[in-house]
Structure formats: structure tokens, C-alpha cells
Structure 1
Amino acid sequence: MDEHIAEAVGRPDLIRLDDGLVCLRFETMKVVSALAAVRHLLETGVVRRGDTLLDSSSGIYAYALALACHRYGMRCHIVGSTTVDHVLRTQLAVLGAHLEQMGPSDDLKLDQKRRVERIQEILREHPDYHWMRQYHDDIHYLGYRAVAERVGRETGTDSLTVVGGVGSGASTGALARYLRERSPGVRLVGVQPFGSVTFSSEHVADPEIIIAGIGSSIPFANVTHTLYDTIHWVAFDAALAGSIDLLRRHAVFAGLSTGAGYLAARWERDRAPGGTVLFIAADTGHRYADSVFARHREAPRVEDLAPRTVTTVDDLALPWSRMDWNRSPAPATAAVR
């Protein structure tokens, strides 16, 4: 029996959708990393119960850290993106988390930069606060070991490909690292929005995509580029098609990054029959009800979509591009200084 709701929320479901296609579905994925990170900090004496934990978030991590703080008796301070919606703001308030939300902005890159600057101001004002550094501290890898062990037991690791949004780098990076301890041949496919610096697509604009979830306008230290075999860049319209098809065909109601991952996973599965492709569904589709699912009649058929295969990021183009990354190091624009 679970001792706290965070443990139940963080436990993923493994769903076989089709031959060779498996969904690793979370209600809220980052609860896994937040719980393990806070527990480790307490066990190692870095923080004590009652301390304040601080971080920036576009939404999912804010809820995850608030749950972890509730579970372990900590205070929680979040500098939130302008994209944090009313439902999440209300949940955070009732959970006792303090949210500072950035004002409206048409430029989500500027929103991310402002959040980072505000974190530094708060730390100068409150040096006793502990900055969780979800983008830069590999303590956030820890929670995925148990997930990787379960994936290994239930799907096997022979001819396994893992597909997921890159984001902060912790989820896909950790799963690949732990799975490769038992099977070095496990492939890792990262999904990115256009406009993200992480794999050098900042020169290609997609005005509709919300970059903060699976990409970044600033370098992230938790992204280990040498773990990734292939990268898919997916624009809003293509990700929307994936989300709609996933719900219509398999009844899985999940967010926009999941739609992008599902699209990439179908493509990878069809190119390598006989293997297993597992894609990550990081959250449910509720916050996308209006922006994505209400537009289901606009969605093209996924069968009519195919990525543009490129050999250099200079050739990236909307709505979908794919490149063999071949476990190369970080590009200069994504290297953390």
C-alpha cells in the first residue's frame, strides 16, 4: 500500500498498443524524479525537513516538486512559466506551494530566460533555499532506475528502442543509461520541438509549439547528448496529429509531447520490424483539451506524414525532420559553460 498519493501518481503503466509498440504512460512523469531527488537530499543531509526547495518550471515539474515537498514535509517555491494554467495554480496553492508566475509573453524563450534570472535573485535574497536544478543536477536521474528495471523485466532489452521528449534530459537519458547497464545495444530516440537549442534547431521557428516542455532556449547540463542515437524534430501540427491518433486508435489520452513521441515511435517501429519500440507518455491530455483535442477535425492522418531525413541540422524543415545523431557530443550552442 502506498503511503502518499505521490507514489501512486508517479507509478507508470506499461501498455502494449500494437505489435512492437509499447507505451510507458505516466499520469505526471516528473513525480518519479522529484520524489527520488528529495528523498536523496534528505538521506544525505543536504536538506532537512522544513527547508525550502526552489526551482523553475513550465508546469509538470512544479506539480511534481509540490507533491514531493508535501510528502516529505518541505516548503516549495516555484518560479513558473507564463504557460502555467488555472488548474495547476489552484492545485499548487492548496498544496502549500508558493508560485511566482511570469507575466504574459509572446516569446517563450524570453519567458525561460526571465525565470532563470528570477531564480538567481531569490537565491541572493534567501541563501538558505535549496535550488533543485532540475535542468542541471543528475540527481534527477535516480528515480528512473526502478522504471528501467520494470521495463527490462516486462519488455526485455533485446532490440529495444526508447523514444521520448528530451526536455531536461533526465527521463530519456536515465532510462537509456540504466537499460544499457544490462544491454548496451538499447537505442535511444529523442524528440525535440523546432526552435530548441538542445540539438541545434534554434534557427527553425514553429510559432505554435510550446517549447518549454520538450525543448529549451538555454543549454541544459542534464542532457547527455552522447546517449542519443536518433533525433526527431516535430512541429505542432504533426504532434497534434499524433495525439489525436493515439486517442482515437488506442484510447490513450496524453499530452502534445506524447503525440510527437508516438509519431516518432511508429516510424521507428515500421523501419525495424521484429524489435520493440517503447515511447514515453509524460502526462495526461487534460491541459491540451482546448489547444489540441478540440482541433481533432484539423488533424491530418498519421499515415500521410513522414519525416524529412537530414544529415545536418542546416537542412531541418517543418513539419517533421529526422537525423541520425549517432551518440555525438553536444553541439557548441548546447554546451553548458
Structure 2
Amino acid sequence: MWYNNILETIGHTPLVKLNKIVKDIPATVLAKIETTNPGNSIKDRMALKMIEDAERSGKLKPGGTIIEGTSGNTGMGLAIAAVIKGYKCIFTSTDKQSKEKFDALRAFGAEVIVCPTNVDPEDPRSYYSVSSRLEREVPNSWKPNQYDNLSNSQAHYESTGPEIWEQTEGKITHLVAGVGTGGTISGIARYLKEKNPAIQIIGIDTYGSVFKKYKETGEFDKNEIYPYITEGIGEDFLPANVNFDLIDHFEKVSDKDAALMTREIARKEGIFAGNSTGSAIAGLLQMKDRFKEGDVVVIIFPDHGTRYLGKMYNDDWLRDRGFLKEEKLTARDIIRKKESREIVTIDIEKTVLEAINTIKSLNISQIPVTQAGMVIGKITESDILNALLENPSLKSHPVKDITTAPFPFVDANASIDKISAMINNDNIAVLVELDGEIAIITQYDIINAISA
């Protein structure tokens, strides 16, 4: 048997039992692995459905251009379908999304326009507004509008919901899914509740999103809105596809918990999943008291980990955000192990001779140069030697005449590996701001810290 094209392989994704990561949950927990779709995400289902419905209605015409605001996965589904069906694609997205997502979209011939994250949806710079403007300007174009296009949730009512019901033999008691456009959770929920109204539908939200408070109070609170890192879930408006009547509970998960849990899934279950999956599992564990023996919980795994290699699967990215505890020595540790934390500097107006005397008396090889108390450059033994070989009279000149670029600053949490990589023949030290003071780290300091 073979398929006529790649679009025919969408759907019929496996349901896999989770074990180690949910050991504290008394229920049976099953993961719906949507990464087996051709675009490696659940969005392939609704992307194809939206296109087919638009073709039937005449909104999308032969040779047309599909224009959509997307964080990447919907764009991938649309791009794959466009390749097969002969459409062009222009996608707008936000600068918080991973570079890998944009690269993947461009691989299918799509044009990607990156817009700022921290603006209101109505702002002309937002990815919603830019996509709407392009739809008006580009001839023979169509905007799927995945947030308000009910073909989105209908796709999951027709495919994902029935698959889950059949795969669990109707035994499912809870569905857990991240909520972004709302199409996945609402479409599945509608089908499952028609089969069994007692099934609990749990939406995973993130801090900075309005969903949870709106569900619980009916209030759209703009004070709830602020930038967040988690991708694929949460919103700062209410998409038409989010059917709050079908969702029984929203659970919020922090950026840090979502990011760290994303990595744990790969290490404990061998499943390479995306950021919103980390949110869903973290939320599930936060709610462990809601589940009992005999329950069957299905949790949606929407996309693949390859789209987050530069983020949640990158140690430096996590450290920079304070999400990952550094087990190796950090700049802070190295400074604390120094015999003296006092840094010697020289003012830019002091003479080169004074700098030479300071270097000799303190047996050091470099001095940061300051102006009005701020570090603005450096001089080293080699800088002085090279300068005097060319012009011996420079001894009486001010230090500023031979000052070179300052040593780079590193964060106090920077790892010893990162610091070591920055220190070389051209750059013999780095500076650190610690407890309101400037400190210096040299190669000797690193060696001393390791051997201490």
C-alpha cells in the first residue's frame, strides 16, 4: 500500500503510555504523539482542513497566496499543503519564537516576516495586524485566521477526537491539552463530551495569558497580560476557537517549569517533544490530586523537540534565564575563591610611566582603565611594550593614548567553560560585576579556582 501524497499521512497518530515521568500519578497516562504527522505537529490536521474548506467556499483560488500569523507549527502544516496544492505562503510570527521554526518554514519555500512580541494585538506592528494588512495588499490572497476560523476546531472534532475515543476504547476520563488557538482542545472536547459528558477537559495555560482568569471569573483582565517565554499556548485575547463552556479547568504553568519539564520528557520517556508538552506534563503533575486509580488521562503531545534545540534544549539559553542551576564553577565561584577580590584600575589621565610602576609593584600583567569611575578600556604589558618600542617618549603621555578596548563583561552566573573560551592571547581577562563591585578574572584565577 502507498499514499498518493504526503497529505494523506496526516492523522492516525499513536497513543503511548507514559511511565517514569508520571510515576506519582495514580491514573493511566497516555500521550497522543502528534509528532508523527508529516509536519511533526498536530497543526497539520487543522491546516489541511482550513485549506480544504476555503477551497470549497471559493475563498482560496488556484495559484493564490496563503497569508497567516503563526508561531511555526500551523505555518508548517499550511506550507506542506501549499507545496502539494500549488499555493504560495507568507507567514508573520513573533520574535520570541525559535529560529528553528522559521528555518523550517523557509525550507518549504515560505516567506517569513518576524514581528515584535511585546505589542498589543491591535498594534500595527503585531503579527496579527501585519498578516491582516498583507491580506488586503496581496492580490488573490487568503488568510486562514486560525484563531477565529472554526475549521480549526472542526478538524479535531472530525479526526483527533474520534481517534482518542477509539484508541482508549471509550475509557478516557480526562483530556489534558495546551490552549493557544483553542482549536485542538475545543474540537476534541466537543466530540468526547458528546460520547461521555463526564469526561473532564483540562486546559494548560501560562502566566501572562488571560485564559484561566476569564474562565473562572468571566473577566478579561488586561493586567494579566505580560510577555512570557513558553511557546504555543496562552494568548492576550480570546480566540473564537476557545470554547470555554467545554473546558472544565485551566491550570497555569510557569515558563521555568515548562522549559525544564520539556527536557525531562526526553530523558525519562525517550520522547523528543516541544515546549508546550513540557507545560502540559508540568501542569499534570501540579494537578496529581485530581486523578485516581482507574482514570485514563490522555495528554496531547503537539510538536517535536527539534524546533526548540536553540532554546529549551540549550543549556546556555536556560542558564541565561536563570532556569538551569549551574553545577560547574561560575564567575561568582571563581571570584569568591580569589585571595583578593580588590581590582586595581588606573585613570585614563594617569601617565604610562605610572601604569608601568603599578604593574611592576603589584606583579600584574594588565590594568582596566577608568574614566569617572567607569571601566572604559584596558592596558596590558604587551600594549605598553609595543607602544614604547615605537615611541619611547610615550612614557610621559596619558594612558588614554595607548588604551585598547575593555575586557568583556560576563554575568556572575557565567560558567567556567564560557569564561575559559573567552580568555585567549588577545583577551587575557574578563570583568564581572558582583555585589555592586567590579572584579577581574584571569587565566590564573581560573586555574586557582579549579585546584582549590
Q: Report the equivalent of 1:17.
A: 18
Q: Are 1:194 and 2:207 an aligned pair?
A: yes
* Contact 2:152–2:183 under 8 Å retained in 1: yes
Unaligned 5+ segments in structure 2 are 20-26, 36-40, 214-220, 326-452
* CA–CA distance in structure 1, aligned partners of residues 113 and 241 of structure 2: 24
Q: Counterpart of 1:264 in 2: which secondary structure?
A: helix
User: Are positions 1:271 and 2:290 aligned together?
Assistant: yes
Picking from 84, 103, 120, the partner of 2:132 is 120
Residue aligning to 1:184? 197
Alpha-carbon spacing, 1:165–1:176, altered in 2? closer, same or farther (3 Å): same
Instruction: Determine if contact 2:15/2:30 at 8 Å carries over to the other structure.
Output: yes
CA distance in 1, matches of 2:222, 2:232: 15
Q: Describe the shift of the 1:288–1:87 C-alpha distance in structure 2 as closer, same or farther (beyond 3 A).
A: closer
Q: Extract unaligned runs of 5+ from structure 1.
A: 301-337
The aligned counterpart of 1:3 is 4
Partner of 2:283, secondary structure, is helix
2:46 counterpart of 1:33: yes
CA contact (8 A) 2:69 2:131 kept: yes
**Cα contact 1:21–1:265 (8 A) shared by 2:** no
For 1:84 and 1:149, locate their aligned partners in 2 and report how far apart those are by CA, in whole Å.
31
1:135 counterpart residue number: 147
Aligned positions of 1:146-165 closer than 5 A: 146-158=159-171, 160-165=173-178
Aligned length: 296
Once the two structures are TM-superposed, the CA of residue 205 in structure 1 deviates from its matched residue by 7.0
1:54 aligns with 2:67: yes
Given the superposition, is the C-alpha separation of residues 271 and 228 from structure 1 closer, same or farther in structure 2, using an over 3 Å criterion?
Answer: same
Could you say if the C-alpha distance between residues 215 and 290 of structure 1 is closer, same or farther in structure 2, counting changes exceeding 3 Å? same
Residue of structure 1 aligned with 2:261, choices 242, 251, 274: 242
Shift of 1:186: 1.5
- 1:3–1:141 distance in 2 versus 1, CA, 3 Å: farther
Q: What is the Cα deviation at residue 288 of structure 1?
A: 2.3
Q: Name the counterpart of 1:209.
A: 229
Cα distance, 1:260–1:88 mapped onto 2, change above 3 Å: closer
8 Å CA contact 2:63, 2:86 repeated in 1: yes
Equivalent pair of 2:95/2:114 in contact (CA under 8 Å): yes
Give the distance between the partners of 2:228 and 2:197, measured in 1 at CA: 37
Q: What is the alpha-carbon distance in structure 2 between the residues aligned to residue 67 and residue 285 of structure 1?
A: 19
Q: Is the 8 A contact 1:159 1:185 kept in 2?
A: no
For residues 158 and 134 of structure 1, do their structure 2 counterparts lie closer, same or farther at Cα, with a shift above 3 Å needed? same
Contact 2:232 2:275 in 1 (8 A): no
Q: 1:197 to 1:120 in 2, by over 3 A?
A: same
Question: In the alignment, what sits opposite 1:293?
Answer: 313
The SS at the match of 2:212 is: coil
State the structure with more CA Rg. 2
Distance (Å, rounded) in 1 between the aligned partners of 2:53 and 2:185: 20
Q: Rate the CA distance shift 1:13–1:196 in 2: closer, same or farther, 3 A.
A: same
Give the secondary-structure state (helix, strand or coil) at the position aligned to 1:167.
coil
Q: How much identity, in percent, do the aligned residues show?
A: 24
CA change 1:136–1:185 in 2 (3 A) is same
User: Who is 1:223 aligned against?
Assistant: 242
Q: Give the residue type in structure 1 aligned to 2:3.
A: D
Summarize deviations over 1:251-274 as a string: whole Å, max 9, x none. Answer: 111112101111223454553221
Shift of 1:153: 0.9
Any idea what SS the aligned residue of 2:48 has? helix
Shifted more, 64-73 versus 151-160: the winner is 151-160
Name the SS of the counterpart of 1:228 in structure 2: coil
SS of equivalent residue, structure 2 residue 303 = coil
Counterpart of 1:280 in structure 2 is 300
Whole-angstrom CA distance in 2 between matches of 1:218 and 1:51: 29
Q: TM-score, normalized by length of structure 2?
A: 0.60
| Distance verdict in 2 for CA 1:202–1:241, change over 3 Å | farther
Sort the Cα spacing of 1:148 and 1:159 in 2 relative to 1 into closer, same or farther, 3 A: closer
Kindly tell me: are residues 32 and 129 of structure 1, through their superposed partners in 2, closer, same or farther at Cα, counting changes over 3 Å? same
Cα deviation, 1:106-129, whole Å, max 9, x if unaligned, reads: x44458951122123223323632
Equivalent in the alignment of 2:106: 93
Name the amino acid aligned to 2:79: A
**Structure 1's 224 and 109: CA in aligned 2 closer, same or farther, altered over 3 A?**
farther
Relative to structure 1, the CA distance from residue 205 to residue 263 in structure 2 (aligned partners, 3 Å threshold; closer, same or farther) is same
Structure with the greater relative contact order (CA < 8 A, sep ≥ 6): 1 or 2? 1
- Aligned partner letter, 1:21: V
Retained in 1: the 8 A contact 2:211–2:250?
Answer: no
One-letter amino acid of the structure 1 residue matched with residue 131 of structure 2: I
CA gap of 1:43–1:13, structure 2 versus 1, over 3 A, is same
Question: Do residues 63 (structure 1) and 76 (structure 2) align?
Answer: yes
Of the structure 1 ranges 171-180 and 113-122, higher mean CA displacement relative to structure 2 is found in: 113-122
Tell me if the contact between 2:29 and 2:297 (Cα under 8 Å) persists in the aligned partners.
yes
* C-alpha distance in 2 between matches for 1:109 and 1:230: 28
The answer as to whether partners of 1:244 and 1:299 remain within 8 angstroms in 2 is no
SS in 2 for 1:162: strand
CA distance 1:120–1:206, change in 2 (3 Å): closer
SS at match of 1:278: strand
